[in-house]
Amino acid sequence: MTFPHLEPLLAAGYAVFLLAASAGLDALARHAHHRSERYRTAGFTYHAEHDHWVCPEDQMLWPHSYDDERRLVRYRAKPHICNACPTKHRCTTSHLGREVVRPLDPWPHSEAGRFHRVVALALVALAGLLTAVELVRWHESADLIPLAASAALTAVTAWWLTGHLRATPANFPAPSPSTGLRLRGQRPNTPTGSDR
């Protein structure tokens, strides 16, 4: 029985390390993104059926503006309600009412998400390149086994990290019905009267 040489073993091990680093980077970036969103909207509840937020004082924030470039919707409370609120000093210093921003696109379609995903994919590409070079250099079956395993793992990781690109080739999910209404300059169906 022949044993593999040290170089292909080390190369395969380093390729696996790069793949683990890419998966870890993606997971940490996703966690930081969701934690940041939770911090910015702490105490506020989003109601998708009517496309509005409700603050801790049970007041509603309705869509105020849509940023097409950054793919964000800004929601704002009525200024006279916020300015009369007894807990305003803990919520906002603005005299225009509290504003909450909601990204329209899920992770990893945000700008930060795409950046971190590209960095993770660069690590995967480096692992693939390293494995390919070693596969060209070594031809004995004992050397090919760890290299083939790292090549298969590289392919699986690349498939997993590019899943969002295959699902949405334009790099953004399809707009929701309420987004489509805003894009045409109309407002979604919202309650009327003093509760707005």
Q: Taking a C-beta distance cutoff of 8 angstroms, is the pair 61, 53 a contact?
A: yes
Cα(112)–Cα(17) distance, integer angstroms: 24
Residue 192 lies in a domain: no
Residue 189 lies in a domain: no
Looking at residue 72, what is its pLDDT? 84
Residue 194 lies in a domain: no
Q: Taking a C-beta distance cutoff of 8 angstroms, is the pair 73, 101 a contact?
A: yes
Please report, in tens digits, the pLDDT of each residue of the chain (196 residues total).
Answer: 678 899 999 999 999 999 999 999 999 999 988 888 888 888 899 998 989 999 999 999 999 898 888 788 999 999 999 999 998 888 888 889 899 988 887 777 777 788 899 999 999 999 999 999 999 999 898 999 999 999 999 999 999 999 877 766 554 555 554 544 444 444 444 443 434 3
Question: For residue 125, what are the CA distances in angstroms to 23, 121, 129?
Answer: 13, 6, 6
Residue 125 lies in a domain: yes
Looking at residue 193, what is its pLDDT? 40
Cα(118)–Cα(123) distance, integer angstroms: 9
How many domains, the chain? 1
Residue 195 lies in a domain: no
Residue 188 lies in a domain: no
How big is the chain by its Cα radius of gyration, in Å?
25
Q: State which residues form the domain around 137.
A: 6-183
Residue 174 lies in a domain: yes
Looking at residue 68, what is its pLDDT? 81
Looking at residue 196, what is its pLDDT? 36
Looking at residue 91, what is its pLDDT? 87
Q: What is the pTM of this model?
A: 0.68
Looking at residue 129, what is its pLDDT? 97
